[in-house]
Structure 1
Amino acid sequence: MRSYGQYCSIARALDVVGDRWTLLIVRELLLRGACRFTDLKAGLPGIATNLLSARLKELDEAGLITREDAPPPVATVLYALTEDGRALEPAVRALGRWGLRRMGEERPDDAFRAHWLAYAPAWFTTAADPEAPAAVIQLVASGEEAVIEIDGGEVRTRVGRAASPDLVLDGPPRAVLGLLTGVIDLARATELGLSGQGDMDVLRRLRPVEGDVPGAPSATGF
C-alpha cells in the first residue's frame, strides 16, 4: 500500500481508500450488500478486471472487506464490507451530497445503473410530512426502474416496479435525480424531458436533505 507518509488522519484515510475506484467499490457494497465479483464489475462500468481484482485485494488486506465462499447453488466468492468498511458510509454519503452540486451536466457517455437511481432518494431526501398517509413513487430513468416508498416519516427505496404507484416519474437521469435531490426544480426537470403520471402533489412529500446543494431550489418546485 502506498502512503502519503503524513501523520494526519485525512492522509491516513487516503492511504487506504484514496486510489481510483476504491470508494466506488465501497459504494457498491454499501448499496447492495455482499456481491460476487461479476456483480461488482457490472456495477462499476469502465473498470478493468485486473484493476478490480487488485483493489479488492488491497481492501481485503486493509481489513475493509471479507471474502467468503457462498454455498451452492451460488458456489462463488462473495465480497462484503467489514464493520470497519461499513464505517465509511457517512463519508461516502457526505461525498455524494457534496457531489450533487456537480450533477447539473449529464454527459453523453455517462453510465447509469438502477441501484444508483434507488439510493439517491434514500440518502439525499427526507419525508416532508411524517403524518401524511403512505405514498409510492415509481421512477424510470434511461430504462432503469426504482421505487420510492414514503411512510411513517421514512423514505425507503428499492430497485424494480411498484404494483400501483401514486406517481410515475419518467425521464433522463438528470431530470429525475436532479428534481428529487433539489439540483433543479420541477419546471426545469420538465424542460429536460421529465413526465409525470398520477398525483404530482405526492412530490410535496419529499424534501432534499438540508444543506445538500447550497442555493438549490426545492425538489418539488412548488
Structure 2
Amino acid sequence: MPIGPPNSWLTCFSALLSLWLLSGGLDAEESRALDTSEEASDDASAFWSVKPVVEIKRPNVKALDWPRQPMDFHVLASMEAHGLTPAPQADARTLARRLHYDLTGLPPSFHELEAYVHDDSPDAYPRLVDRLLDSPRFGERMASLWLHLSRYAEDQAHQVGKDTKHFYPNAYRYRQWVIDAFNKDLPYSEFIRLQLAGDLLPATSHDDLVATGFLGLGHKFYNRGRLDVKAEE
C-alpha cells in the first residue's frame, strides 16, 4: 500500500489496539474457544439467514383499504401496533417528482411533469418508471452512489494553478465505465469481478479493463504508488 504521512502507522495501530480492548481483549486461543463454543453455535443457528424459508401468515389490520400488495399488510400491522397511521396518498405531481429524484437524481422538467399529471391511463406510473430506468441519467444517478463508496476523485483536491502532479487525467474513464455498467444492467457479480480482477480474466474486453481503475482509487498521500505494487494488490 502507498506510504502514509509520518506517524500514520502509529495512529492506525492505536485505533486497532483500542478496538481490540473494547472487544474484550481476547487472545487468539480465547477467541477460538469462544467461536467454537456451544453457545456461539446456537446463536449462529438462530440467525434469520440460515433458517428455513416458511410461509408467513398475513397479519390482521384495521385499514383494509390501504394495502396494495402482501408486504403492505406487514408494514401496516407494525404501524398500527405503534399507534401510527399511513400518510395520505401522494398526488400525481408529488409522486412524479419523488420518482425522478430517486431514479435520476434530478427534478422533472415542467413539460415532463405536466405530461404525467394529465396522463389518465392506468399504466401511466409503470411507464414513467420504465422511461426513467431507460434514461442515461439513471446510470449517472446510480454511479454517483458507487463512486462515493469507491472514493473516486480526479485529483488530490489541493492542486493549485498549473500544478498537475496530483491530477489523474484518465480517471474519468473509470467513472464512465461505472455509468455504462448500470445503464447496461451489468450483473452485480460481474460488476465486482471486473473491478477487482478484470485484467486477469481471459474474456475481458479492452473497454472492461478500465474497470480495474477501482484499484487505483483512494488516498495517495502525495505519492502515486508503484505500479508493480498495485499489480500485486
TM-score normalised by length of structure 1? 0.28
Question: Normalized per residue, which structure has more helix?
Answer: 2
Question: Normalized per residue, which structure has more strand?
Answer: 1
Q: Which has the higher contact order (CA 8 A, sep 6+)?
A: 2
TM-score normalised by length of structure 2? 0.27
Name the larger-Rg structure: 2
